[in-house]
Structure 1
Amino acid sequence: MSLRFPATITKLVHSLVFMSCLSLVESPEIQAVIGNDVILPCHTVFDKNNSKVTWKHSGQIVHTYQYGKDYLTNQHTNFKNRTSLFHDEMTRGNLSLKLTNVTERDAGSYSCEVPEQSKHLITLVVEIQAVIGDDVILPCHTVFDKNNSKVTWKHRDQIVHTYQYGKDYLTNQHTNFKNRTSLFHDEMTRGNLSLKLTNVTERDAGSYSCEVPEHPGHLITLVVEIQAVIGDDVILPCHTVFDKNNSKVTWKHSGQIVHTYQYGKDYLTNQDTNFKNRTSLFHDEMTRGNLSLKLTNVTERDAGSYSCEVPEHPGHNITLVVERKPTKGPVHVTSK
């Protein structure tokens, strides 16, 4: 005896099975520096003339292409005149989005959606760069009532700066930021809630949030840089609480072990060969929390991101920018 189901139930089962086959495809984070352009990747099967693709950012329409042409009527104003697709490559499945002149508002999650295909998710991390010792402005712009609203800047979970009801409120400010932060009070009525941070240190690196109740938060990542010329020595700073005899610190460069110190001595067995005989720590200052790394005879290969990692303490990240020695121009000798 065979069972027969109504057509509506059969269609529903087929739909559920089909939907279960669809999946989310997550790509690695994409970084972009404020003011630069960026390409958010998306590749899938696509019929250029009969299909539709929609890019979204936190529910906002970023860019739509359907039935052979761009359709930007519903595009959010934040993205106006800043987006484009690679039309010549769409028949090969390239639906990547080019976003120009990146701002802090662009940070966050993006989706590339094609009906009946997998949804692609991409996270855009917006960065701003600053050299140790310099000042930097972390941008934030949104609707704001200067006298009746509140804005809080945070670094990880630390309070960086708070403004509420017409004045700064710094009682809960983290000690790392004391006397180093300010807002642009004269421009707040126009929505400028940007933070000025002076005398940047390695501890300042990382993610910042600009939070206003009832408005989407803005995220921006501060990349702290130190510069060195090829052939010179450089000190990469790192300061934190440290028990010299019972703790461990590991310096890494793009996943490679640069230098390890544990239980009272250097441990270099796993050191990457690129750094052999070129690294040292300041042993006499470690009890005072100085875990800075000295790197000698800098090469082009040394450029990039470094992390200073101590278990149970926040890691410190710093980017080494390696520059070539300036070339001397020809010497002109004039005869008298």
Structure 2
Amino acid sequence: MTQLMLHVRFLLFVLFSVPAPVQGHYQVTGSSQPIVAAPGEDVVLLCHVEPQLDVVDLTVEWSKPDLKPDSNYRPKGMEYVHLYRDNRDVPDMKILSYKGRTALFADGLRQGNISLLITNVTAADEGQYRCFIPKLNAQIKSSVVQLIIDRNSSKAVTIETPLHPQAAGQNGLNGGLSNFSRLTAFMVVWAFLIVIA
């Protein structure tokens, strides 16, 4: 019995000694490589919070910093490609040309996935995009992703890009994160079984 208690104590020590992210150690990370698409394609601008963090209750802003201001549409001095606030998308704060063409992966927000889907891209969509979480308690709250439109390429169907954000839930963009969580849990159980044996 004392041997079992020793093993249980060891397991509890291992589980609770894994450091939780310290305040300010989160960061927003986007794709380091430019994303290339043909006109008419749907693209995903990759961006997420590391380490994994539930951002459902936070504001997520996608903007285009290199876009020239449009004097006809400038709400509160800021234009958004996509805005998520108060647990919902805010379509009336979007740049007009992006209305009905952008979406976040709702299922991915719980894992810190703030990637943006843009459908039917055009040459006008080319440029830098900034993903930003203003109230994230972190040193790095934003990242810039570059989108390049290849005008010499014709529209191609890509299997990697889901047609609807909810389709990416379990098997799409979040797959790598959930697989990492499963692997971590497996390793802890495996270590416990080795210690008991």
Residue of structure 1 in register with 2:195 after alignment: none
Q: What is residue 302 of structure 1 aligned with on the other side?
A: none
Q: How does 1:139-150 map to 2 (within 5 A)?
A: 139-142=46-49, 143-150=52-59
1:125-159 CA-to-partner distances (Å, cap 9, x unmatched) read x3110100111000011155444210000012531
Q: Distance in 1 between matches of 2:53 and 2:82?
A: 16
Residue 171 of structure 1: how far off its partner (Å): 1.4
SS of 1:137's equivalent in the other structure is: strand
* Partner residue, 2:13: none
1:263-274, aligned counterparts within 5 Å? none
Larger radius of gyration: 1
Q: 1:105 to 1:161 in 2, by over 3 A?
A: same
Distance in 1 (alpha carbons) for counterparts of 2:153 and 2:55: 43
Aligned match of 1:9: none
Tell me the residue number matched to 1:222.
Answer: 147
- The question of 1:207 aligning with 2:162 is answered no
Following the alignment from structure 2 to structure 1, what is the Cα–Cα distance between the partners of residues 153 and 117?
Answer: 26
| Contact map agreement 1:153 1:209 (CA 8 A) in 2 | yes
Work out the CA distance in 1 between the residues paired with 2:87 and 2:153: 43
Bigger relative CO (Cα 8 Å, ≥ 6 apart): 2
Q: How does 1:275-290 map to 2 (within 5 A)?
A: none
Secondary structure at the counterpart of residue 107 of structure 2: helix
Unmatched 5+ residue regions in structure 1? Answer: 1-75, 79-102, 107-125, 230-336
* Aligned residues with identical type, % of pairs: 34
Residues 127 and 148, structure 2, Cα contact 8 Å, conserved in 1: yes
8 Å Cα contact 2:39/2:153 also seen in 1: no
8 Å CA contact 2:55–2:111 kept in 1: the answer is no
1:90-101 mapped onto 2 (5 Å cutoff): none
Query: Contact 2:30–2:47 at 8 Å: present in 1 too?
Result: yes
Output the CA distance in 2 between the equivalents of 1:160 and 1:169: 10
Please name the residue that 1:251 is paired with. Answer: none
User: d(CA) in 1 for partners of 2:100 and 2:42?
Assistant: 13
Cα contact 2:30–2:145 (8 A) shared by 1: yes
State which of 71, 85, 88 in structure 2 corresponds to 1:167: 88
For residues 130 and 110 of structure 2, the distance between their equivalents in structure 1, rounded to whole angstroms, comes to 20
Q: Distance in 2 between matches of 1:138 and 1:105?
A: 7
1:132 aligns with 39
Cα gap change, 1:223 to 1:147, in 2 (>3 Å): closer
Query: What is the Cα deviation at residue 105 of structure 1?
Result: 5.6
Normalized per residue, which structure has more strand? 1
Q: Which AA in structure 2 matches 1:169?
A: V
Q: How many residues were matched structurally? A: 111
> Aligned partners of 1:147, 1:194: CA distance in 2, in Å?
13
Tell me the equivalent position of 2:60: 151
Question: Is the contact between residue 146 and residue 166 of structure 1 (CA under 8 Å) also seen in structure 2?
Answer: no
| Larger helix proportion of the pair | 2
Tell me, in whole angstroms, the C-alpha distance in 1 between the residues paired with 2:148 and 2:89: 26
Bigger drift between 167-176 and 212-221 goes to: 212-221
SS of the equivalent of 2:130 reads strand
In the alignment, structure 1 residue 186 sits paired with structure 2 residue 122: no
- Contact 2:31–2:45 (CA under 8 A) maintained in structure 1: no
The verdict on how the C-alpha distance between 1:147 and 1:192 changes in structure 2, with shifts beyond 3 A counting, is: closer
Change (3 A) 1:153 1:172: same
Partner of 1:104: 30
Aligned to 1:208, the other structure's residue is in SS state strand
SS at match of 2:150: strand
